[in-house]
Structure 1
Amino acid sequence: MAVKMSHGKFTALNACSNEQGVIAALAVDHRLNLLQAIAEARGARATVQDLQTFKATVTRVLSPYASALLLDPEYGLEAITSCAPSTAVMLAYEKSGYTGEAGDRLPDLLPAWSVRRLVEAGARAIKILLYYNPRDHADVNARKQAYIERVGAECAALDIPFFLEPLVYDHTVGGSQGLAFARQKPAYVTEVIAEFGQPRYGVDVLKVELPINPAFVAGTRAFTGDTAAYTRRQALTYLREATLAATLPLIYLSAGVSDAAFCEMLELAAEAGARFAGVLCGRATWQGGIPIYAQQGQEALTDWLAEHGARNIQTINRVVVASATGWWDVYGGRDAIEIV
């Protein structure tokens, strides 16, 4: 049976991907964490102008290598004019950070924006980041689920794709980069993929974490040498099982790991037979430019990006093109989609 999709969403998803339907997107929607990183590298205060300059510079130099570019409307709108004409612009809709009682991590939207206004600003797709623990209290998760349902309905009304980025966590087991959470992560990511793939949420693409923490995969170059959370064979199984839970196109985020570690994990996913439709990564590509900009300025950042940033994104792109499949493959192929 053919999957029905609106003309606007179908066209915009194609605009965000290459001719094979693979999404090779670049994220530059970082806000408070980027501001803090620039300040720490400089040893002095960073400003809104620093954010705008950094985003515009990354956009100008690296967007020609990306099928889509993710920015934020708070500090990234000026960068849109620097974006390559062939690269689709995606805009974030959520506030940076979260609110609520300790551990709840409740989301909120940017108060001066709506999906309509983001579309008017140039968005071809909308992105929401959501911190989510699939085993949290039912009332907490009900609030988050309703929040996503509202955004999904708003995107449907404007006929624009909705990219959801659910980041899993569990504050009861320590930090998200620790061994205890690494052992829980495969189940959490798989459960989140299954939950938000339901039609009620109106999500079109899930931007997900790898279900494994590269630093804890024994037998890989990314392994730090500390206690392993998984063998290489187990990692292959977890990667495959997570994508089997998907009813929507999945793309991976880099979660701040190095480009080398991220590429190795993408190759591992391909070896596992895990079906994914591409990537939307940022820091793996440009984070090395932060101290360059903070200490030497925009011109030095431009030079660094032209050499190192461009090499990073092209390296990731080569792995993505070799490993990913078209976003429509989860539906049985492009011809299996009925445009309505």
Structure 2
Amino acid sequence: MRKVSAEKYQALVKMSNPEGIIGALAIDQRGALKKMIATHKEKVEVEDLILFKESVSEELTPFASSILLDPEYGLPAAEKRAETAGLLLAYEKTGYDTTIPGRLPDTLAFWSVKRLKEAGADGCKFLLYYDVDESKEINERKQAYVERIGSECLAEDLPFFLELLSYDATIADTTSKEYAKIKPKKVIEMMKVFSDPRFNVDVLKVEVPVNMNVVEGFGEEIMYSKQEATALFQEQSQATDLPFIFLSAGVSAEQFQETLRFAKNAGSSFNGVLCGRATWAGGVIPFAEQGTQAAKKWLAEQGRSNIEELNEVLMQTASSWQEKLVR
């Protein structure tokens, strides 16, 4: 078991449900959210992003253990969250520089872990794109970057959530069959890398180890049998001694819930979720076309139903992070 400070431990408790499971709501999207709204609205203002985040926070945090927001547009939404919900703040700039190779990370220019904590954060989240097969020079730059953030979080006694997104520098489409063949290795190996204590990561936020759309019983085209997929979930779970939570990766609420059930049956010891679009994405259309009140109505009805169903599945499938961390 890993040891963390009493302050970090209490912050993690604040972001979890009473059973020690993280049922967090993610709406730290910036560029992606703007594109979603722009699909249904001619002109998208900064105020639109702020209002939608506020609506999600107000309507759904009574049913979430915590909420992940960005400090650029999300701080007003942080003020609207339920008293029972902890607060995670994102530290990374949205997107990455496409003019140079490597999808190199960068932090928000006017923020530090100290400032995130002063803004009320119970935890710091940082997103890293990582290809275990990329050049040593690129990956060592990324590792050094994560070391710096880990040291900041250690100095401020703030839990460090590292979100890892796999990719391959030679394959543009991570949803392709070509990428599905190599995804398990990419996901599992990068988890091993960042489980090293030198990075001071407290919780890993990760993808499931296989594209479920090509798993027997989930998609029309089968590349992995249920038995093969089960073995990959087991391998992922054994790849780290850190608490790890799953991201929804934009899939539907129903598919995400079925994936969590599959993970449980496979023997995965995952400790919760940070679920975004699978919960609230359907609220974007009424927001863009009819305004805030229409979005709130959708969130209060279908959004709430999505998150309550997810919570029910979590209680049946996830395990407490307190089995992996001690004070």
TM-score, with length taken from structure 1 = 0.94
Aligned to 1:334: none
Counterpart amino acid of residue 92 in structure 1: A
Q: Is the 8 A contact 2:2 2:242 kept in 1?
A: no
Question: What is the letter of the counterpart of residue 256 of structure 1?
Answer: G
CA distance in 2, matches of 1:93, 1:313: 25
1: CA distance between counterparts of 2:119 and 2:215? 42
Q: Which residue number in structure 1 is paired with residue 278 of structure 2?
A: 284
Question: Amino acid of the residue matched to residue 308 of structure 2?
Answer: Q
Q: Identity percentage over the alignment?
A: 46
| Distance in 2 of aligned mates of 1:100 and 1:151 | 23
Q: Which amino acid aligns with 2:207?
A: E
Structure 1 counterpart of 2:197: 199
2:145 matched residue in structure 1:
147
Give the secondary-structure state (helix, strand or coil) at the position aligned to 1:91: strand
Deviation at 1:173, TM superposition (A): 2.5
Q: Name the SS for the 2:142 alignment partner.
A: helix
Give yes or no for the alignment of 1:41 onto 2:14.
no
The aligned residue for residue 112 of structure 2 is 114
Secondary structure of 1:270's partner? helix
Would the aligned equivalents of 1:174 and 1:180 in 2 still touch at CA under 8 Å? no
Local SS of the residue matching 2:204: strand
1:177 to 175, 178, 186: 175
Identify the residue that residue 132 of structure 2 maps to in structure 1. Answer: 134
Structure 1 distance, partners of 2:29, 2:9, is 27
CA contact (8 A) 1:90 1:123 kept: yes
Deviations 1:225-270 (A, max 9, x none): 1x32211111111111101111100100000000101001100000
Q: Secondary structure at the match of 1:90?
A: strand
Do the aligned partners of 2:2 and 2:324 also contact (CA within 8 Å) in 1?
no
Cα RMSD after superposing both structures: 1.1
Q: What is the match of residue 163 of structure 1?
A: 161
Partner of residue 4, structure 1: 3
Alignment of 1:293 with 2:287, yes or no, is yes
Code of the aligned partner of 2:266: A
Structure 1 counterpart of 2:308: 314
* 1:81 shift after superposition: 1.3
Equivalent position of 1:86 in the other structure:
84
1:28 paired with 2:39, answer: no
Whole-Å separation in 1 of the counterparts to 2:49 and 2:97: 23
- Judge conservation of contact 1:100–1:106 (CA < 8 Å) in 2: no
Does residue 94 of structure 2 align to residue 96 of structure 1? yes
1:100 shift after superposition: 5.8
Deviation at 1:330, TM superposition (A): 2.9
Name the counterpart of 1:208.
206
Aligned-pair CA distance for 1:174? 3.4
What is the count of residue pairs matched by the alignment?
A: 327
SS in 2 for 1:175: coil
CA contact (8 A) 1:207 1:253 kept: yes
Which residue pairs with 1:264 in the alignment? 258
Conserved? CA contact 1:251–1:276, under 8 Å: yes
Query: Which residue identity lines up with residue 279 of structure 1 in the other structure?
Result: V
1:260 and 1:4 mapped to 2: Cα distance? 36
Structure 1 counterpart of 2:217, which letter?
G
CA contact (8 A) 1:41 1:295 kept: yes
* Kept in 1: contact 2:134–2:169 (CA 8 A): no
CA contact (8 A) 2:22 2:273 kept: yes
Amino acid at match of 2:192: A
- 1:171 offset after TM fit, Å? 3.1
CA contact (8 A) 1:64 1:87 kept: yes
SS class of match (2:129): strand
- In 2, Cα distance between equivalents of 1:229 and 1:34: 32
Aligned-partner residue type, residue 96 of structure 2: Y
Q: Hey, what's the Cα distance between the residues in 1 that align with 2:222 and 2:324?
A: 32
Q: What are structure 1's unaligned runs of at least 5 residues?
A: 332-336
> Structure 1's 162 and 94: CA in aligned 2 closer, same or farther, altered over 3 A?
same
Contact 1:251–1:278 (CA under 8 A) maintained in structure 2: yes
Query: 1:62: Cα distance to partner?
Result: 0.2
Instruction: Measure the CA separation in 2 of the matches of 1:160 and 1:321.
Output: 26
**What is the letter of the counterpart of residue 91 of structure 2?**
Y
SS of aligned partner of 2:164:
strand
CA distance in 1, matches of 2:159, 2:275: 18
C-alpha distance in structure 1 between counterparts of 2:256 and 2:3, whole Å? 34
What secondary structure is seen at the aligned counterpart in 1 of 2:39? helix
* Paired residue secondary structure (1:41): coil
**Contact 1:252-1:280 within 8 A present in 2 as well:** yes
